[in-house]
Chain A
Amino acid sequence: MPEGKYCFRRPLQTEEDILHLLSDTRGTNYYKEMEELEVDTEALKKRLDATCKSRLRTWLDICARCGLCADSCFLYRVNDRNPEQVPSYKVQTTLGEIVRKNGNVDTKFMLHAMEVCWSRCTCCSRCAQYCPHGIDMGQMISYTRGLLYSQGFVPWELKIGSGMHRVYRAQMDVTEEDWVETCEWMAEENEEEYPGLTIPVDVENADIMYTCNAREPKHYPEDVAEAAILFHIAGENWTVPSSGWEQTALCMFAGDWEACKMQVQNVYDAIERLKPKRVVGTECGHAHRASVIEGPYWCGRPDGKPPAPYIHYVEWVAEALRTGKLKIDPAKRIKEPVTLQDSCNYVRNYGLSEITREIISYIVEPGYFVEMAPNKDYNYCCGGGGGFNGVGRYRAQRNKALKTKRDQILATGCKLVIAPCHNCWDAIRDLEEEFEIGIRWTFLKPLLLKMVVIPEHLRPAEEEE
């Protein structure tokens, strides 16, 4: 069968497309059809010629097959050191094979490659730090996902997710109206407690333009409110764009590079339209990777930078605490053992390990912060990265992967985990559900709100003495 009714090579372009695929519960028919989906070897070969250049080919060629990357991969370790989880093996048997055969691979192979690329690697790039040749298997798997996606071999949820980005410029069906309404609603909801609180939409030349993760307006609107309250307390001159507010890119996990470009261009357009001094993104790792680290390249910005300085939420928090825009009530600092999840995407892949610890120094009573081991740039993935969290087909594998973080947390003895990354936060929630180790987990925003000093003039009238 060349292509099926549910499973086909072309991306989802319209709302109907998305609804059609969503109607196929859990992708049952989708995966069934995939078993017979033909590979367009000509197209695959063309894509290889156009995109597989010297860096990837050299990496494939000179890999010394030394196995030094094995221990670096949490999936190898957590899967009882199964040799099939050695990063080099995973790449050589997928991308390596496609390149050796110059695209001449069959459906069975593609199904296998899909399983490897989405259930045996979270593209966390930890292995890149351990390879003598500087081979980054995370990037190679990510590249391979692009090849697979172009042929229609992609997990159902991610096919839909990247379709969402194409249709709504958001990972979920949150429209511009939904977004603006949520902002208004959240401002109203909290106005009483914080007089003067607003969520200003589309203000030009503000100091800060704020962008977030579509899950926030969709499922956790209080997160939007918390961001607003903290900006309000800090006295920031800020705004949100009516369009271009969504910062994530599930299409990046899907390997749909075209959608990645559409998605981030929308954010950059908002920056160019509103001309903020800088942009602050929410507590999300992959959002930061998409819009700040990789996004400029998708959009062809030669300097590799977004149109305005674009910082991660932790950078804004550290700065606000450092400059006294946010003041912590010493009596309310955390006085229980607490640990911190270093998100791969903005720590290992963006260098923000120290700044998160600076935040800790303000909000945790000295002596109560316990580091995970390993940590900072060497931290392991939470277990749900790279789209792993969202793919039903690989739930069992994902749950196993969570054991790494579970054991790291257990070893700290802490009951509280600070996780300033959406995806890590989700993974930690899931691991608690799965293993019930009795922990709590939190973003920075609600924590800060509990301990920040509210300046006199911002308090509600009746509280004034």
Chain B
Amino acid sequence: MYEFLTGPMLWVTFTVFIVGCIWRVVRYVRGLSWQLDRVAYRPHFALGARHALKSVFYWLVPFGSRSWREKPGMTILFFAFHIGIVFVPLFLEAHAVVAKQRLGIAWPSMPAGLADGLTIAMLVAGAGLVIRRLALPEVRIITTGYDYLLLAITMAPFVTGLACRMDLPGAEGWLLAHLVTGHLMLLAIPFTKLSHMVLYFCSRAQLGMDFGIKRGGERGRGIVW
């Protein structure tokens, strides 16, 4: 099972994940319509691109946008969660080892202590996000089972990974669970709201262009939309 999940299945998952993400982006861009969206994307491309990049960038920086600054608690939860989710799987030593052994790819890795710290921060933040959903009426009303399911899908590989790392009893079971949940998460990305992993860049860029091209980019000063 281990062999399969870190061998052939890894290729399958990666392929579905990557092709799926590309397909979502292509479909997004192709579905844009200057007349329906009322944004002249092409004729003012340079202006639009500038504001698109600006918008993407400032929202990726903690406290970079006004919204992040006005909600510091959420900002901390959000960034702790996303930094963990992106960097730990990418640069975990154990993953680099698998990449080397099974796929023959040399991959950089981060110190174990850092990875542990980020994982724990991510899980704590995840729990915080769940509590926030339950506690705040304005978030509770828009939350559905689907949102909790997605949180579970994203947190499961981290819980199981941490269990492996801490050598909890039943090591093999944890490892298997980690592999299964990891695959599940990657496979879910193109098909669920987790596609925001790539679509964030699309919609953020789109609004940057919208404001940049037609709603004041030429005239406004220093506003990040």
**Contact call B31/A54, Cβ cutoff below 8 A:** yes
Cross-chain contact B204 with A133 (CB below 8 angstroms)? yes
Interface secondary structure of B, over-half rule: helix
Tally of chain B residues near chain A (CB < 8 A): 61
Least CB distance from B181 to A in Å reads 21
**B141: chain A residues within 8 A (beta carbon):** 83-84, 86, 89
B213 at the interface (CB under 8 A from A): yes
Q: Which residues does chain B contribute within 8 Å of A129, judged by CB atoms? A: 66-67, 223, 225
A36-56 Cβ-contact flags toward B at 8 Å (1 or 0) = 000000000000000101110
Asked if A351 contacts B217 (CB within 8 A), the reply is yes
Q: Which residues, 58 to 115 on A, are CB-close (under 8 Å) to B?
A: 58-59, 61-68, 70-72, 76, 81, 83-84, 86, 88-89, 92
Q: Are B207 and A81 in contact (CB under 8 A)?
A: no
Query: Quick check: is B117 within 8 A (CB to CB) of the other chain?
Result: no
Q: Taking the complex as formed, is B218 at the interface, i.e. its CB lies under 8 A from any CB of chain A? A: yes
Q: Which residues of B4-38 are within 8 A (CB) of A?
A: 27-38
- Which B residues are in CB contact (< 8 Å) with A303? 40, 43-44
| Residue among A76, A130, A353 making CB contact with B138, cutoff 8 Å | A76
A265-285 at interface with B (beta carbon < 8 Å): none
B138–A133 contact, CB under 8 A? no
A76 to B138, CA, bound (A): 9
A83 touches B200 (CB 8 A): no
Residues in B whose Cβ lies below 8 Å from that of A348: 215-216
| B-binding segment of A9-17, A179-187, A294-302, A390-398 | A294-302
**B124-178 interface (Cβ within 8 A of A):** 136-144, 147
Q: B27 is contacted by which of A51, A54, A136, A302 (Cβ under 8 Å)? A: A54
A378 pairs with B66, CB closer than 8 A: yes
A66:B74 contact, CB within 8 angstroms: yes
Instruction: Assess the B213–A65 pair: CB atoms within 8 A.
Output: no
Contact with B along A115-143 (1 / 0, CB 8 A): 00000000000001111111110000000
Task: Report Cα–Cα, A66/B32, bound state, in Å.
Answer: 25
Of the candidates B42, B138, B221, the one having the most CB atoms from chain A within 10 angstroms of its own CB is: B138
Which residue in chain B gives the minimum CB-CB distance to A92?
A: B142
Whether A352 contacts B206 by the Cβ 8 Å rule is no
Q: Which residue on B lies nearest to A50, using beta carbons?
A: B36
Chain A residues with Cβ below 8 Å from B43 are: 302-304
Whether A53 pairs with B33 at a CB distance below 8 angstroms is yes
Is B31 in contact with A354, judged by CB distance below 8 angstroms?
no
Question: Nearest chain A CB to B43's CB is how many angstroms away?
Answer: 4
Q: Which residues of A contact B32 (CB under 8 A)?
A: 53-55
Asked whether B214 lies within 8 Å of A293 as measured between CB atoms, the reply is yes
Most chain-A Cβ atoms within 10 A of its Cβ — which of B65, B66, B203? B203
Identify the closest chain A residue to B207 (Cβ). A134
Question: Assuming the A-B contacts A67-B142, A83-B140, are A55 and B203 also in contact, with contact meaning beta carbons closer than 8 angstroms in the complex?
Answer: yes
B220 contacts partner chain A, Cβ-Cβ < 8 Å: yes
Interface residue A205 (Cβ < 8 Å from any Cβ of B)? no
A350 interface residue per 8 A CB criterion: yes
Cβ contacts under 8 Å, B40 to chain A: 296-297, 302-305
* Cβ of A242 under 8 Å from chain B: no
Q: Which residues of A contact B34 (CB under 8 A)?
A: 297, 302, 304
Candidates A57, A62, A68; contact of B71 at CB < 8 Å: A68
Judge if A412 is at the interface, Cβ distance under 8 Å.
Answer: no
User: What B residues does A157 contact at CB under 8 A?
Assistant: none
Q: Is the CB of A81 within 8 A of B204?
A: no
- Say yes or no: A62-B203 contact (C-beta < 8 A), given A68-B67, A83-B137, A136-B210: yes
In the complex, which residues of chain A have a beta carbon less than 8 angstroms from the beta carbon of B196? 62, 64, 133
Nearest B residue to A300 via CB reads B35
Residues of A within 8 A of B142 (CB): 63, 65, 67, 83, 86, 88-89, 92
In contact, B139 and A59 (Cβ under 8 angstroms): no
* A134-B214 in contact given A128-B225, A304-B39 (Cβ < 8 Å): no
Bound CA–CA A54/B203 (angstroms):
10
| Docked-complex contact A353 and B74, CB < 8 angstroms | no
Residues of A within 8 A of B65 (CB): 132
The residues of A that contact B55 with a CB separation of less than 8 Å are: 134
| Interface pair A354/B35, CB less than 8 Å apart | no
Report Cα–Cα, A130/B36, bound state, in Å.
23
A223 at the interface (CB under 8 A from B): no
Question: Does B217 contact A294, Cβ atoms closer than 8 Å?
Answer: no
Contact of A351 with B216 in the complex, beta carbons under 8 Å: yes
Annotate A344-357 by CB proximity to B: 1 below 8 A, 0 otherwise.
00001111111100
Q: How far is the CA of A354 from the CA of B204 in the complex (A)?
A: 25
**Contact A349 to B206, CB < 8 A, known contacts A65-B147, A378-B66:** no
CA distance A378 to B136 in the complex (A): 24
CB distance from B90 to the nearest CB of A (A): 21
- For B109, list chain A residues within 8 Å (CB): none
Besides A134-B204, A297-B34, A300-B35, 9 other A-B contacts (C-beta < 8 A): A53-B37, A64-B196, A67-B136, A67-B142, A71-B71, A88-B142, A302-B40, A305-B40, A352-B219
Q: List 15 A-B contacts (CB under 8 A).
A: A53-B33, A64-B196, A65-B143, A67-B136, A68-B67, A83-B141, A128-B225, A133-B204, A134-B59, A134-B207, A297-B38, A304-B39, A304-B213, A350-B215, A377-B223
9 A-B pairs closest in CB distance: A351-B216, A54-B31, A304-B40, A134-B207, A351-B219, A351-B220, A67-B139, A83-B141, A297-B38
